[in-house]
Structure 1
Amino acid sequence: MKSLSKFFLTVGLVTTLAACGNGGSSSSSSALDDKANKGWPEELTLVQMPNENNPNAASMYTALRDHLSEELGIEVKEFEGGSYAVGIEALASGNLDIMLASPMSYYQANQKAGAELLVTPQVEGYEYYTAFITKKDNEEINNMEDLKGKNFAFVNAASSSGYLYPKGTLVQEFDLDPDLLEQSGYFFENVTFSEFHANSVMGVLMGDFDAAAVAIGQMDSMIQAGTIKEDDFKIIGRTQNIPDASYIIREDLPEDFKEAIREAFVSFEDEQYFEAVHNDPNARFVETEQTYYDPTIEMLDAINALEDEK
């Protein structure tokens, strides 16, 4: 879940979030009475984002929802969204409690709604980064410096792994002007946005691009599927590790409620869920430090990606 979403929430979801808020229906149960005495809401609203690496993951989210509901003793309403912008507005208005967020969307939510980092899925021993690739037999490109004057492909201007991180790497490594990088003739001969990681990989293979920035996970998936052969490519550079998307939460919820939610996530140990959603049955949710995204935000600032958000 490294790219910024290209999708949009449905009108139904937007309407539902706006209408439902956190008021919920009254209940006479002692459990809800206890929550009310603490100032806890009677329900929790959670939005998941589509998993571009595993579109079938959504079928497993019910297990997490049910676990949170049982641990907290309140109803948990879950929706699948697609627009971080709509989710951030819902957080700011109090109509949404928790959402899965990329570094950029967390920064926006923190600025606009004071959102806090909650938990992050952690897969031990796995590094997610963007690789700078070219064809194995391309003798003109053997290192990052050789990219100068070549035809290059990013994925999409809203993609963390396909654009923001590789652009940040280039700007910081070669002291480039971030506002000029995409201009033909400045550093690259020409820059193309392929829209999908797979398009970038195949474009390099077919000779449409001399090189491209591609998420290593996407490369691995294509190799495992037999779509491409590992020996057809060489990696000439890479970005820093890209942090996983994290769940973020409204800051104005009661502190003990936020801590209870955090503990509920951390206690979730459904191996089928983690296998389906994170491709590792041993993955788990861990508490997220509020400084987790700081290096990423510094990088985004270096490429002027935050100018419109300040």
Structure 2
Amino acid sequence: MTKTMNFTRRQLTLLMTASLLGLSGLASAQNQQVLRVSAIPDEAPTELQRKFKPLGAYLEKKLGMKVEFTPVTDYAASVEGLINKKLDIVWFGGFTFVQAKVRSKDQVIPLVQREEDEKFKSVFVTTHKDINKLEDLKGKTFSFGSESSTSGHLMPRSFLLAAKINPDSDMKRIAFSGAHDATVAAVAGGKVDAGALNISVWEKLVAQNKVDTRQVRVFYTTPGYFDYNWTVRTDMPADLRKKITEAFLALDASKPEDKEILDLQRATRFIPTKAENYKAIEAAAHNAGLLK
């Protein structure tokens, strides 16, 4: 009887040890969990990495998990990466979000956007003195950004169509630069007569003296529209979604360390957003024949 009891105690000890090791392993696995972050490549890869570094460190601290930035080759790759679970959260433009929403059959959800993204704008730039309104672009060469860009293609195209300018038939030639800063370079270098890009990148380039405003000038600024947001899949655990949202909303420009992050994101603050905000973008994409 005594032997049986001793053996049972030994078994219990081994079982408890194994259970503790298992729990320890589970905790370790959770601690090593990685939040894979990406962004549409609307600027140079080095610039995207520079902008994300302090934000990534901030999120690691707030979430208690490793955060990694994974660059993508193009806009489509950011959509596919999120849908196919290779990425966990992506900085989308309004149109890219709509593409992901349609492509995933509503299995993505936008969490937050910058306050500036409630009334985002695009600017049309040129070096030509005879181009002063959208109608002056007839017969001219023109550059959009990426084909999937909201502020570099979809909305500029939408406003051109509203002004009775069909880029495909009324312009001499259209090109796609791939990024907002590349559009400015194409216009400044005389590769095209004019181009469109998002107002945020334009203002940054001007502030950094990376564009000569005596040569390149804005001749048209669009009305406002909803644009960028941080998007996740609907299958992300609700508590993690909540933590991410709260982390962004907690960024406070009155704190120096937070202001650095907000300045790099070109944001005064982040605010909650929802899929319904992008219905106008979806309608514009359908009207422009860019969303099947």
- Give the equivalent residue in structure 1 for 2:91: 100
For residues 88 and 215 of structure 1, what CA distance do their matches in structure 2 show? 20
| Residue in structure 2 matched with residue 287 of structure 1 by the alignment | 272
Question: What residue is the counterpart of 1:9 in the other structure?
Answer: none
Q: Partners in 2 of 1:213 and 1:306 — Cα distance?
A: 20
Structure 2 counterparts to residues 186-205 of structure 1, below 5 A: 186-205=169-188
* Deviation at residue 306 of structure 1 after TM alignment: 0.9
- Aligned-residue offset at 1:115: 0.6
Give 1:67's aligned residue: 61
Q: Is 1:129 the equivalent of 2:112?
A: no
Q: Which moved more, 1:60-69 or 1:224-233?
A: 224-233
Q: What TM-score, normalized by structure 1, do the two folds share?
A: 0.67
CA RMSD of aligned residues (A): 3.7
Q: CA deviation at 1:302?
A: 1.3
Instruction: Give the deviation of 1:146 after TM superposition.
Output: 1.8
Partner of 2:102: 111
Instruction: Provide the aligned length of Structure 1 versus Structure 2.
Output: 260
Distance 1:237 1:266, change over 3 A: same
Within-5 A mapping of 1:73-92: 75-83=65-73, 85-92=76-83
Q: Report the 3-state secondary structure (helix = DSSP H, G, I; strand = E; otherwise coil) of the residue aligned with 1:100.
A: strand
Task: Check conservation: 1:64, 1:268, Cα contact below 8 A.
Answer: no
The code of the aligned residue for 1:134 comes to T
Identify which of 225, 240, 258 aligns with 1:271: 258
CA distance in 1, matches of 2:126, 2:140: 11
- 1:247 Cα deviation after fit: 1.4
Q: Secondary structure at the match of 1:45?
A: strand
Q: CA deviation at 1:94?
A: 4.8
Bigger-Rg structure (1/2): 2
Which residue identity does 2:53 align to in structure 1?
Answer: S
Letter of the structure 1 residue corresponding to residue 171 of structure 2:
F
CA–CA distance in 2 between the matches of 1:91 and 1:202? 30
- Structure 1, unaligned runs of 5 or more: 1-24, 33-39
CA gap of 1:287–1:200, structure 2 versus 1, over 3 A, is closer
**CA–CA distance in structure 2, aligned partners of residues 160 and 278 of structure 1:** 17
**289-298 or 52-61: bigger deviation:** 52-61
Indicate how the Cα distance of structure 1 residues 258 and 187 shifts in structure 2: closer, same or farther if over 3 A, else same.
same
Deviation, 1:252, is 2.7
- Residue identity over aligned pairs, in percent, reads 24
Instruction: Tell me, in whole angstroms, the C-alpha distance in 2 between the residues paired with 1:197 and 1:218.
Output: 7
CA separation in 2, counterparts of 1:223 and 1:92? Answer: 36
- CA shift for structure 1 position 105: 2.7
Query: What is the one-letter code of the residue matched to 2:132?
Result: N
Partner of 2:52: 58
Aligned equivalent of 1:236, options 205, 219, 241: 219
Partner of 1:159 in structure 2? 149
Distance in 1, Cα, partners of 2:278 & 2:214: 34
**Does the aligned pair in 2 maintain the 1:68–1:76 contact within 8 Å?**
no
**Residue in 2 that maps onto 1:209:** 192
Q: Deviations over 1:174-221 (max 9, x none)?
A: 174xxxx33xxx201222334454454355445543322233334334
Amino acid at match of 1:110: K
Deviation at 1:305, TM superposition (A): 1.1
Matches of 1:214 and 1:94, distance apart in 2: 30
Matches of 1:264 and 1:214 in 2, distance apart? Answer: 29
Q: Using the alignment, how far apart are the partners of 2:249 and 2:22 within structure 1?
A: 29
Amino acid of the structure 1 residue aligned with 2:93: S
Paired with 2:228 and 2:67, the residues of 1 have a C-alpha distance of 20
Q: What secondary structure sits across from 1:81 in the alignment? A: coil
